[in-house]
Amino acid sequence: MAAPVAVVTGASTGIGLYTALGLARAGMRVVMVGRDRERTEAARRLVVRRVPGADIDVALADFASLEAVRELAADLLARHERTDVLVNNAGLISPRFAKSAEGYELTLAVNHLAPFLLTQLLLDPLKASAPARIVTVASQAHRGARLDPATMTRPPDWTPLSAYGSSKLANVLFTRALARRLDPASVVACCLHPGVIGTDIGNRAGSLAGLGWRLARMFLPGPEKGAQTSIFLATVAEPMPFHGTYVIGKTIAEPDPAARGDRLAEALWTESARLVGL
């Protein structure tokens, strides 16, 4: 049988890179998705050096553009007959208010709308490759966050960290709504907190918060540890118990109360579908 195909977004560095490495070690054919060709190709070479004989492909997309996400999906569909695992890992914290190519607040656009669209566009090959998995990297930063689907692309009280928290709350709510639409015998959808990991993402969290992060990250575990839960959920022999759940380590955890409401999850789904043009 052909090796299962795993698509990992944000795979040129950090947790995404080590997720790709772990899935290659598990015998999967890995598509490493990144924004920059040179950095993503360097990441591919690193994986191949560490896993001789690994079957690694590279695909490019800037998640600040929904058109680029559509082009990525078309490219993946053209080059790969199946998709067994989708790891929605790409994310950012914008240090200042900025907009995506479509005019949406950048952090929400990259962290939620882009993976929302990519997941929809890859659902058919995922279902055809059953049993398949959709693993979305959320965060404990969703706790205490607020999200109003009607204003999420132009939040009135924007800060770098509030925008990030809202986007991570959207990840958890998206997983909840997605799981309600899927048969877990065909596709399991789950999300996770990777841990407080010393990656570059917090460097851009604003001047004071960014400085604090750069000091704190010296004492934090590295991205290899941060990838462990994504790898676990992508490879665990019995994934169905994790369908629709929020996972920390290898354990199902209760998300914030705001992430448990079906009404908000459905409102987010409806507005997200409208915003991405589905």
Active centre residues (catalytic)? 164
CA–CA separation, 217 vs 235, rounded Å? Answer: 28
Kindly compute the dihedral angle of the four CA atoms of residues 158, 161, 166, 168, in this order, to the nearest 10 degrees. Answer: 160
Pairing outcome for strands 251-253 and 246-248:
antiparallel
Q: What percent helix, strand, coil does the chain show, rounded to 5?
A: 50, 15, 35
Tokens standing for residue 199? 């990656």
- In single-letter form, the type of residue at position 190 comes to C
Tell me how far apart the alpha carbons of residues 170 and 124 are, in angstroms, rounded to a whole number.
23
Residue 8 main-chain phi, psi, to 5 deg: -120, 120
